[in-house]
Amino acid sequence: MNLSAYPNLLLQQTGKVLTVTINRPDKMNAINQETEQSLARLFFDVSTDKDVHVVILTGAGKAFSAGGDFHLLQHLVEHPEEFSEGLQQTKQMLFAMLDCPKVVIARVNGDAIGLGGTLALLSDIVVAAEHARIGDPHVKVGFTAGDGGAIIWPQLVGFARAKRYLLTGELITAPEAERMGLIAHCVPAHALDRTVQDLADGFANGPIKAVQWTKVAINIQLKQLAHSMLDASVAYENLSNYTRDHAEAVRAFLEKRKPVFRGE
């Protein structure tokens, strides 16, 4: 792998462990189309790289991947055909991640929100600093939670909790996320790196074929769900980009006021 060939990602390999850092700290590492393309190619490429056994996925700066670029959202309201094209890239990225047999550890150093939260939750093991928050607030900006949240949340915490958080857009603190089983580990910020590195080293030096094949077996059901749900989910998200409520939410954010939704 060419470690410098993935725009918006910083890659560093130590032994059999590849650390992938989403590098858009000025945008809280929001996942734009270029980043989606890079992640899709990365997970495809790393799948066949015999020198990589473990991927650590994290974010630069204070966030794992949080928030959205509302200037971009305004552009997509005005040019909805670009939004539709972007959702196809989102699908490619998510399927590449699910297909990758290598162990993926999400090092959640800060907020993991929206599609960033989905990326974390689709990882094999999530280790979050206790100050981090996780959530999928699509509905708060008039969007359908269509880019993976409706798939993974019910599998982790059941339908009752998944509906509560996806239908309200409420964020969850890392300690609460660990308590309810949404993530595997919540640790103090000072212990994050050590915890992640110990896990990565354990996998890298273990019976990696058995580990990888076990992951593949576990992911069969998730991949079946993704194939059965994702087309419809992203189609509904695409439709929501045309609604007046979404346009109002974007305008309200840019104008620094509360949105007034009318159900349109």
pLDDT tier for residue 251 given thresholds of 50, 70 and 90:
very high
Mean pLDDT for the chain overall = 95
Least confident of 1-15, 67-81, 150-164, 237-251: 67-81
Residues 49-76 pLDDT 10s: 999 999 999 999 999 998 777 888 899 9
Predicted local distance difference test score (pLDDT) of residue 69: 76
| Strands 17-22 and 9-14, bridge-based pairing | antiparallel
What residues contact 24, with CB distance under 8 A and at least 6 apart?
8, 30, 32, 35, 60
In this predicted structure, the answer to whether residue 2 has a pLDDT above a threshold of 90 is: no
Residue whose structure tokens are 């206790």: 130
Q: Around Cβ 69, how many Cβ atoms within 10 Å?
A: 16
**Torsion on CA atoms 146, 121, 108, 241, rounded to nearest 10:** 0
> In the chain, what percentage of residues exceed pLDDT 70?
100
In this predicted structure, the answer to whether residue 167 has a pLDDT above a threshold of 80 is: yes
CATH class entry, domain 9-190+208-254: alpha beta
Least confident of 1-5, 120-124, 134-138, 191-195: 1-5
Residues 96-155 pLDDT 10s: 999 999 999 999 999 999 999 999 999 999 999 999 999 999 999 999 999 999 999 999
Q: In b/e form, how buried is each residue of 132-150, taking b as 16+ CB within 10 angstroms?
A: bbbbbbbbbbbbbbbbbbb
